[in-house]
Structure formats: C-alpha cells, structure tokens
Amino acid sequence: MIKSSFFAFIFSLSFLIIETALLSNISFLPVVPDLALLILLYVSFYNGSISGEVNGFFSGLILDFLSISPLGLNSLLRTIIGFVVGCFKDFINVDTVFFPAVLAAIATFMKALLLIIVSFFFGGKIAVYHFTESIFWIELCMNTVLAPMMFAFLRLFPSWLLIQPKSASYAKE
C-alpha cells in the first residue's frame, strides 16, 4: 500500500501542478477540470476505502497548499470522496468506458454538495458551487469526458498505482 500511495501522491502532485500552473492560465477555459480528483477515483476504486482515504487526504492537502482555500478543506472533501468510492471496490465493474464517466460525474456532484455542507461551518467564507451557474456544469462535463481517458492513462501503470495489480483484468495481458 505504501508504494501505491507514494506513486498516487506523485501522480496527484504532477497533475495538480499541471492544473494550477498550466490549465488555470489558459484564457479560453472557463474552469479547470479536476484531474487530481480523477486520479483519486481511480486509485480508491481499485485499491479500496483505506487507500482512498489516505490518497484523498494527501491529494487534498497538496491542493490546500496550492490554493487559497482554508487548510484542511480539500483534505476533508477528498478523504470522504476517497472513502465512499473505495467502498464500491468489489461491487462494480469499472473496466467499461461508461462507468468512469458516471463515477466522475457522481464524485463532482458529491464534491459540490460536501462544499455546501462544510460552508455552513465556515460561515460562508469559502467558495461553493452553485448548481444554477454554468461553472459547475462545465466542470462536471469536463470531468465526465476526461474520466475514461484518465482511467485509460492510469491503467498503463498498474504495478505503480495498484496494491494487487495481478488481480486486475487488464494486468493479465
């Protein structure tokens, strides 16, 4: 688990730097897709809830340091999302193209709802998604479209990211 968590941390750090340094500076993109969330979904779904919690906490902590959000906010959100997604490890087949997109859409909704719930404790001092604004829907669409591609990319590294890569169906090839 330590090896997969380390490489998930490295992948999350790399893609968070791409998000904050490159994608956020592209003027025609109204929002930036949450690539680190997609990595978290992949790792937590294939490795389980404990790995999802650990990777969610550390990827959220990185995001907290790179953003202006209160320290611990993204760690909390991603820890919860990693745990919930990891609970479905043995129940759903994610080897199709359709399911990563659905998983990304659900996780993006979950992130928005958790932000709204947590904002009550911060007295409205954190930015939340508004379901009536286009920014949320654009990010939802971007995450949904990019999820199958990100899962396909991450499947190239089963020995790095998965705890038991031999049990995965794509690792037999």
Q: In sequence order, what DSSP letters do the residues of 54-121 get, joined into one string?
A: HHHHHHHHHHHHHSSSPTTHHHHHHHHHHHHHHTTTTT----SSHHHHHHHHHHHHHHHHHHHHHHHH
pLDDT value of residue 171: 45
Q: Rounded to an integer, what distance in angstroms lies between the CA atom of residue 118 and that of residue 126?
A: 9
Q: Rounded to an integer, what distance in angstroms lies between the CA atom of residue 109 and that of residue 93?
A: 21
pLDDT value of residue 94: 67
Q: Rounded to an integer, what distance in angstroms lies between the CA atom of residue 83 and that of residue 94?
A: 17
Low-confidence ranges of the chain (pLDDT < 50): 167-173
Fold of 2-163: Arp2/3 complex 21 kDa subunit ARPC3 (1.10.1760)
Domain boundaries, the chain: 2-163
Length of the chain: 173
129 phi/psi in degrees, rounded to 5? -80, 145
pLDDT value of residue 15: 93
Q: What is the pLDDT of residues 44-85, one digit of tens each?
A: 999 999 999 999 999 999 999 988 888 899 999 999 999 999
